[in-house]
Amino acid sequence: MNHTIIFIDECAYRSPLANCHAMLKFIFTVVVLTLCLVFQDIAVSIYIFITMFLCNVYKNQVKWNDYIKLLSVPFLFIFCACIAIALEINYNNIFFISITKQSFLKSIFVMTRAFASISVLYFLALSTPLCDIIWVLQKLHISKMVIELMYIIYRYVFILIEVQHQLKNAALSRLGYIDFKTSCRTFGNCMANLLILSIRKAERYYNAMTSRCYDGELIFLKTESVWNIYDVIKMFCYIFTVIAVKYISYKI
């Protein structure tokens, strides 16, 4: 999970689409995600999933095996939820659990729509650095407190990852995971030390911010980018194809 967070952040900064207008990518993501949820069509979900897979692999230049690893992160939660949807509990003198054709198709429908939605969000995350997302939220007049909390919590995650990595390496060098009993004791000690060290690091980072004239408000610098007419045309063309897939599947 730690590697996944760092990997997404790195991909966002080195993506060829990072220089595209952030608001355009945000609007595109919101519109496609809305169409995916509103249409409730399995053909549309499959089309969005496949096209977003290709966009993330070829446009964002993410290796296909790395992208599959990213999809495997939410797969367990989606799979367990779909199993719960597919199972039907019946009690007619005898208690039994069954899977009907309707419940199975419903679980498949939910799974495809979930993966399509996740793929769209991955497109935004893998192509848009956090500073650009902050800029978009500011343009949408989101509360400054919400934006600052989101940014601080996001950066604090990286502090926890760094501290946890150092503690794990120190424990491994001292054979802290040699057996199950020792591993449990080491895990407990690492969690306690992680809390203490993370608080110390947070205090140091806060002192560093105050030494740089922090007065309770974070200032985010963003280079203004222009709208590219070709990107706008591509966005409308893709949205039109999604609507066309819905229309064709409805006729069939």
For 185-225, write each residue's pLDDT tens digit: 888 888 888 788 778 877 887 788 788 777 767 776 666 66
Alpha helices, DSSP H, located in the chain: 2-14, 22-39, 42-54, 64-86, 101-127, 130-139, 144-173, 180-210, 229-251
What pLDDT shows up at residue 78?
87
Distance in angstroms (rounded) separating the CA atoms of residues 37 and 114: 9
Query: Among candidates 26, 104, 39, which has minimal Cα distance to 48?
Result: 39
Query: Among candidates 141, 127, 157, which has minimal Cα distance to 231?
Result: 127
Distance in angstroms (rounded) separating the CA atoms of residues 62 and 50: 15
Q: In which residue are the tokens 């599947």 written? A: 249
Distance in angstroms (rounded) separating the CA atoms of residues 123 and 127: 6
Distance in angstroms (rounded) separating the CA atoms of residues 117 and 123: 10
| DSSP annotation of 189 | H
Task: Choose from 61-65, 115-119, 145-149, 198-202 the range with maximum mean pLDDT.
Answer: 115-119
The tokens for 17 are 């689409």
Task: Choose from 21-25, 83-87, 175-179 the range with maximum mean pLDDT.
Answer: 21-25
Distance in angstroms (rounded) separating the CA atoms of residues 249 and 242: 11
Whether the CB-CB separation of 13 and 215 falls below 8 Å is answered with no
pLDDT reading at 237 higher than 90: yes
**Which residues have C-beta within 8 Å of that of residue 48, sequence separation ≥ 6?**
32, 36, 116, 119, 120, 242
Q: Which residue has the higher pLDDT, 101 or 42?
A: 42
| Mean confidence (pLDDT) of the chain | 83
Query: Among candidates 235, 12, 244, 252, which has minimal Cα distance to 123?
Result: 12
Whether the CB-CB separation of 172 and 190 falls below 8 Å is answered with no
pLDDT in tens, 50-63: 999 999 898 888 88
Q: What is the mean pLDDT of residues 110-128?
A: 91
